[in-house]
Amino acid sequence: MSVLADIRANNDLGHPVCSNLRQGDWLMDYIANRLIHREGPLAQVGQWLEAMFTYLKHIPRYLIPCYFDAILVSTFTTALDATYKLMSSFIQSGSSFVRHLALGSLQMCGVGRYPGLPSLSVKIANVPYCVSSITGQKEQCCVTVAAGLPHFCTGIFRCWGRDTFIALRGLMLLTGRHTEARNIILAFAGTLRHGLIPNLLGEGRFARYNCRDAVWWWLQCLQDYVSHVPQGCCILQFPVTRMYPTDDSEPCTPGEVEQPLYDVIQEILQRHLDGISFRERDAGPKIDMNMRDEGFNVAIYVDPATGFVHGGNRFNCGTWMDKMGESERARNKGIPATPR
């Protein structure tokens, strides 16, 4: 659509896309087929486009770019209208700028080929399930938030604690995607360890607990949920399936240990007040090839006089500005880019 917008405004019929359309049917077939092979409603959209393009292929070739544009514009605007109707009144009645921002939630939030979140309690209603095309098993298929496109959108590197909860209010709470926000909040709660939620989630099994701020972004997001969502305080009673009931636990079977969310919150606050100190599991190049040995030691505590969170050392990146130096030549390998 962005390419066609420039072509349309300038009537640029010499553009390579227009030449491609006049020379053959590849682009039309590609657009329709990539949707037809998807499951659910997208396949129906692909079939409709295929039917429209069938008619288009029989008109004079020099007219195809114009009618191709007309078909895609009508499809796109219809999709936008349907999307906005599913969003909150704040988005529906907002400016075009607000609505365009809200479309970011469609790019950054989605369901991947593999489950991005650890399992939620079976006692929770409205959790989406699907049959995996890979394993053939029924599994939860919750929406997750990508940390960035394109490099942080797939596999175990898709979900990061602080990225998710910095963005969740804008991407999901303000757009009206409350159930999806609830599922993400509860899933991360289930991975609690050492009084922290993960920096890198890694489906819970490959999690890294090496940041001090992710758990506070999570708590702030939970507070936003309670105040923004109708009857949002009910989430405090929801069961959380703990993957690691103790700091040294191996991953538990989903549902083996459950507790209400308010107990998890209490544990976070108590652990910080008592002080947190541990060494990351598998410390060494297996999990971070740049970090120096001391950087794998995590120490966090709260000053009871001020409430401020303290911790870290000169060789670990415990906060949002977490770029670690990587250059032997610049002599910054293993040294955080910003002071701690």
Q: Is residue 231 situated within a structural domain?
A: yes
The answer to whether residues 168 and 209 belong to one domain is yes
pLDDT in tens, the chain (340 residues): 999 999 999 999 999 999 999 999 999 999 999 999 987 888 999 999 999 999 999 999 999 999 999 999 999 999 999 999 999 999 999 999 999 999 999 999 998 777 789 999 999 999 998 887 777 888 888 999 999 988 898 888 899 999 999 999 999 999 999 999 999 999 999 999 999 999 999 889 899 999 999 999 999 999 999 999 999 999 999 999 999 999 999 999 988 999 999 999 999 999 999 999 999 999 999 999 999 999 999 999 999 899 999 888 889 888 877 888 999 999 999 999 876 5
Chain position carrying tokens 């740049």: 290
324 located within any domain: yes
Say if residue 339 is preceded by a cis peptide, omega within 30 of 0.
no
Does 70 share its domain with 149?
no
- Asked whether residue 140 falls in the same domain as residue 219, the answer is yes
- Reduced to 3 states (helix: H, G, I; strand: E, B; else coil), residue 68 is helix
Give me the domain span that covers residue 193: 104-261
- How high is the pLDDT of residue 340? 56
Whether residues 13 and 151 fall in one domain: no
227 and 110 co-located in one domain = yes
Do both 116 and 206 map to the same domain? yes
Query: Mind giving me the DSSP string for 143-206?
Result: -EE-SBTTTBSSGGGS-BHHHHHHHHIIIIITTT-HHHHHHHHHHHHTT-BTTB--SB-GGGTT
Residue 90 lies in a domain: no
Say whether both 312 and 257 belong to one domain. Answer: no
Distance CA 193, CA 242 (A): 9
Based on the domain organization, do 66 and 129 belong to the same domain? Answer: no
Concatenating the DSSP letter of every residue in 198-242 gives: -SB-GGGTT-B---SSHHHHHHHHHHHHHHHSTTGGGGGGSEEE-
Q: Is residue 93 part of a domain?
A: no
Of 200, 234, 261, which residue constitutes the final position of a domain?
261
User: DSSP letter at 293?
Assistant: G
In a domain, 268, yes or no: no
Is residue 53 domain-shared with residue 121, that is, in the same domain?
A: no
Q: Which of 235, 261, 287 is at the close of a domain?
A: 261
62 with 194, same domain? no
- Say whether both 9 and 72 belong to one domain: yes
Quote the tokens at residue 63: 């007219």
Pair (81, 118) in one structural domain:
no
Does the residue 189 lie in any domain?
A: yes
End-of-domain residue from the set 25, 54, 85: 85
pLDDT of residue 88: 96
CA distance 172 to 146: 13
Residue 232 resides in a domain: yes
- Cα 219 from Cα 217, distance rounded (Å): 5
With respect to residue 39, please indicate whether it lies within any of the assigned structural domains. Answer: yes
- How many CA atoms does the CB half-sphere of 259 hold within 13 Å? 16
Name the domain count of the chain.
Answer: 3
